[in-house]
């Protein structure tokens, strides 16, 4: 179990480092953007949204493969109870996040949640995409993240005999740290951190109850799309 | 208790803690208070369906409980008013927002919202939390969460609703866990606010 935990941490670190580091400098980004744009004919503003998403998804799927997560984690015995619980959990995830944001406003009325969200680099990139892609891209990334963290890591830990609370916490902390790494300012970290805590808690508990990662994927996918469709005030 | 039951209980508790917040995400063509009541009722219905509940709709034999419930409901708006006045150190005229509806839809929405809040904060939350905690602790926790659920009205409303929550929770426990008693109090409170109080511009 310790070995599996260490492997999960290492694989997550490699996933995020390989996604983040090669394009951390603005100059490299600009060069890659122009090069790929002239090679493929894709408008330069779409280069990073597409390339970034592809790299992120491929790395995520590889991470799941390396840790040995089978697709059977997706198998869900659908019952009316399970469907109702998933809908309730989806409403709960929205409600908890909205509550966390209203606490931020109540504590500091100058908090600007929409700007913090739209300032995050991956959100910014997705916002450059046209129409339906603003839903599809974040939903796909969210599905892969959820399959890895709640499916491969959490259910893997459970299968190895870890107590449910430990599995939920370990998978959650890995996911939350991963999201924080992708932020640049304190405001971004607070907003994304709080929503990651919510998604980890709700998704983790739901995965344990349903014995499948599919419900958590559905919730996270609908949730991520909400953030990239936030409108800037004014 | 199995791990699954434990996780189910926790999931329902965290998912139903702040039902009023989900309303802010809903974009419908219906009026705000109808949307609010419908969303609240939907969440309460789902929570009721997925939680293994004991019978909550029992009717206490002791008729005094019904009288106490109506009395508490009549008193609640004034108690909240006194807390508000003491906090703000000025006694404004007791009134509600000029745009609060008075029609049948507004009344039905108010009754539905009260029923949904009681089903969630007294019915579901008490059933789940009393697996681990004594009634006094459950009253305290559910009241604070019930208060925080009104945070978008400001901190004053949180205090007012926390206190009202203690009242409803106490009625629920004393009546032998009959949801009907705090429900009567809550509906009475909402009807007093909508039907009796004067309208005034903020």
A164 shares contact with chain B (CB less than 8 Å)? yes
Chain B: give the shortest CA distance to residue A141, in Å: 22
Which pTM was predicted?
Answer: 0.90
CB contact under 8 A, A84 and B49: yes
Q: What is the pLDDT of residue A234?
A: 34
CA-based torsion, A143, A93, B124, B27: positive or negative: negative
Q: Which of B4, B5, B10 to mutate to test the interface with A (most CBs of A within 10 A)?
A: B10
Residue B198: phi and psi, rounded to 5, are -75, 155
Specify the DSSP class assigned to residue B152.
G
Residue where the block lists tokens 């929570």? B47
Tokens of A198: 């919510």
Q: What is the pLDDT of residue A205?
A: 97
Of A87, A93, A205, the CB nearest to B46: A87
With a cut of 70, say whether residue B94 has pLDDT above it. Answer: no
CB contact under 8 A, A102 and B43: no
CB contact under 8 A, A89 and B3: no
ipTM, 2 dp: 0.89
> pLDDT tens per residue, chain A (234 residues)?
788 888 888 889 888 888 877 777 888 888 888 888 888 888 888 888 888 888 889 988 888 888 887 888 888 999 999 999 999 999 999 899 989 988 998 888 888 888 888 888 888 888 888 878 888 888 899 999 999 999 999 999 999 999 999 999 999 999 999 999 888 899 999 999 999 999 999 999 999 999 999 999 999 988 777 766 655 443
A88 shares contact with chain B (CB less than 8 Å)? yes
A-chain residue closest to B148, CA distance: A99
CB contact under 8 A, A96 and B50: no
CA-based torsion, A34, A35, A41, A47: positive or negative: negative
**pLDDT-based confidence at residue B27 (cuts at 50, 70, 90):** low
With a cut of 80, say whether residue B23 has pLDDT above it. Answer: no
Q: Give burial (CB, 10 Å; 0-12/13-18/19+) of B140.
A: middle
pLDDT in tens, B62-87: 888 899 989 999 888 888 888 888 87
CB contact under 8 A, A88 and B152: no
SS3 state of residue A26: helix
Return the minimum-mean-pLDDT range out of A68-72, B86-90, B162-166, B188-192: B86-90
CB contact under 8 A, A92 and B4: no
SS3 state of residue B198: strand
Q: What is the pLDDT of residue A126?
A: 82
Chain B residues within an 8 Å CB radius of A98:
18, 21-22, 24-25
End-to-end CA gap in chain B: 51
């Amino acid at each position: 179990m310790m070995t599996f935990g260490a492997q999960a941490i290492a694989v997550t670190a490699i996933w995020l480092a390989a996604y983040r580091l090669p394009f951390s400098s603005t100059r490299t980004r600009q060069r890659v953007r122009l090069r790929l744009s002239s090679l493929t004919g894709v408008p330069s503003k779409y280069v990073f949204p597409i390339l970034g998403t592809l790299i992120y998804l491929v790395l995520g799927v590889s991470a799941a493969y390396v840790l040995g997560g089978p697709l059977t984690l997706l198998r869900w015995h659908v019952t009316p109870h399970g469907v109702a619980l998933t809908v309730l959990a989806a409403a709960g995830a929205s409600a908890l996040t909205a509550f966390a944001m209203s606490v931020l406003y109540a504590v500091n009325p100058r908090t600007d949640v929409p700007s913090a969200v739209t300032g995050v680099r991956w959100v910014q990139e997705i916002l450059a995409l046209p129409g339906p892609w603003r839903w599809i891209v974040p939903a796909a990334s969210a599905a892969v993240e959820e399959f890895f963290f709640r499916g491969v890591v959490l259910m893997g830990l459970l299968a190895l005999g870890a107590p449910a609370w430990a599995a939920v916490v370990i998978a959650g902390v890995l996911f939350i740290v991963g999201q924080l790494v992708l932020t640049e300012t304190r405001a971004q970290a607070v907003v994304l951190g709080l929503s990651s805590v919510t998604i980890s808690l709700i998704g983790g508990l739901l995965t344990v109850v349903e014995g499948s990662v599919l419900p958590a994927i559905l919730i996270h996918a609908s949730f991520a799309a909400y953030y990239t469709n936030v409108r800037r005030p004014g | 208790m199995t791990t699954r039951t434990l996780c189910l209980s926790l999931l329902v508790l965290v998912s139903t803690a702040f039902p009023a917040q989900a309303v802010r995400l809903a974009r419908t063509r219906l009026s705000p208070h109808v949307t609010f009541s419908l969303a609240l009722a939907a969440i309460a219905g789902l929570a009721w369906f997925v939680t293994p509940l004991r019978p909550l709709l029992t009717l206490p034999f002791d008729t005094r409980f019904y009288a106490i419930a109506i009395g508490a409901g009549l008193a609640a708006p004034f108690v909240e008013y006194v807390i508000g006045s003491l906090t703000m150190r000025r006694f404004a005229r007791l009134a509600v927002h000029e745009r609060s509806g008075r029609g049948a839809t507004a009344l039905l929405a108010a009754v539905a919202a009260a029923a949904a809040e009681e089903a969630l904060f007294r019915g579901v939350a008490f059933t789940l939390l009393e697996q681990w905690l004594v009634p006094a602790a459950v009253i305290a926790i559910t009241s604070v969460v019930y208060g925080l659920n009104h945070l978008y009205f400001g901190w004053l409303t949180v205090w007012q609703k926390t206190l009202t929550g203690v009242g409803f929770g106490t009625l629920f426990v004393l009546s032998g866990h009959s949801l009907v008693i705090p429900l009567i109090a809550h509906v009475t409170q909402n009807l007093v606010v909508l039907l009796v109080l004067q309208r005034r511009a903020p």
